[in-house]
Structure 1
Amino acid sequence: MSDLAKKGITEVRNKKLLPNLSKEGELTKEIVLSTKEKHGVPVGSRLFSHHTLASVRKLSFYHPFFLPKDSLDLVLTSTYNQSTEKFADKEDLYIQPETIGCETWRRLRNAYHKCPVPRIPMGHPMKRGGIKERKSPFSVQLMNSGVHSSQTNPGFSRKPAGGAIFFY
């Protein structure tokens, strides 16, 4: 079970003509679409307007944010940990976190994540808050102490044997 499924997040297929790659990279130009509709249009214009993840990534004006420069970058971003895994296979060095279900900046499917509706306690959106702890008014030290203040001043102590006040 993946991390997203444990949190209650479901994956919903993106039915729009363009995939959302805003986390992966940026388009320096707008993609020209011959139609905004998917149904009821000629087949050629529908095929021309519909893009997949791979087709948008191949466009010359698409610039990814985190493009690996060489094989070392792939190995460094992999899930393999040499201190905990003993006798790993060759392919373990290249397994990326998104292939095992962890969410990263890359998209493997043209889908978006739908978070569950937050549960409202007791059926209404009232927030509980306010005072966390009620302090006793008798334990608060004010500037002017009352009649029943302590008999020793700060820095002084009373000897248990004699009862006289000595300064240490």
Structure 2
Amino acid sequence: MAGIKQVRNRKLLPDLRKEGHLSKEIVLSTTEKHGVPAGSRLFSHHTLASVRKLSFYHPFSIPEDSLDIILAATYDHSYEHFADKEDLYLQPETRGCETWRRLRNTVGKPPKPKIPLGHPMKRGGITERKSPFSVKLMNSGVHSSQTNPGYSRQPAGGAIFFY
């Protein structure tokens, strides 16, 4: 889950699939945010708190008392010496860890896949056809040059000179 960026949810309903389920569908007067009357837009727009207060929303787990909150905290008394009083109650989502509960109306945006060689791999098909006449074969003809272009072998010393 590392690398997933949290961006603002611009939809009318928050995404609470990790927290609980709705026993029936939420009725929306509109599916648009722009170009509709303010009353219907306000009626259709829900926040995290408004969806959690609906009678047909059933969360998966709810802390029942203060002991459940303390047990779910990130505080570990064997590592922290002289901790503050509020450290007993710090929850993982407050510290930025990924948990089942959302604090803000955001959605996870996965990162773009990395291209290993800096260019996308092409699969299937031939993209370029080379001419068979431009390939130097093993048994080439007598008129083909035997040196690299721009180089020549001198008959006197046999050294290669660049002209």
TM over 0.5: yes
Q: Which runs of 5+ in 2 are unaligned?
A: 123-163
Q: Deviations over 1:38-91 (max 9, x none)?
A: 111111111000000000000011010011111111001101001111111111
Alpha-carbon distance in 2 for matches of 1:27, 1:107: 16
User: What percent of counterpart residues are identical?
Assistant: 71
Alpha-carbon distance in 2 for matches of 1:124, 1:14: 30
Give 1 or 2: higher helix fraction.
1
Q: Which runs of 5+ in 1 are unaligned?
A: 127-168
1:76 aligns with 2:71: yes
Q: Deviations over 1:79-135 (max 9, x none)?
A: 100111111111111100111110000001101121211212123448xxxxxxxxx
Alpha-carbon distance in 2 for matches of 1:55, 1:31: 11
TM-score, normalised on structure 1?
0.68
Matched letter for residue 18 of structure 2: K
1:19 aligns with 2:19: no
Match of 2:101 among 92, 103, 106: 106
Match of 1:116 among 111, 116, 126: 111
Task: Indicate the SS of the match to 1:107.
Answer: coil
1:66 aligns with 2:93: no
Alpha-carbon distance in 1 for matches of 2:121, 2:59: 41
TM-score, normalised on structure 2?
0.70
- Tell me how large the CA RMSD over aligned residues is: 1.4
Task: Give the equivalent residue in structure 2 for 1:55.
Answer: 50
Matched letter for residue 19 of structure 2: E
Match of 1:85 among 72, 75, 80: 80
Alpha-carbon distance in 2 for matches of 1:57, 1:125: 46
Q: Figure out how many residues of one structure are paired with residues of the other and give that number.
A: 121
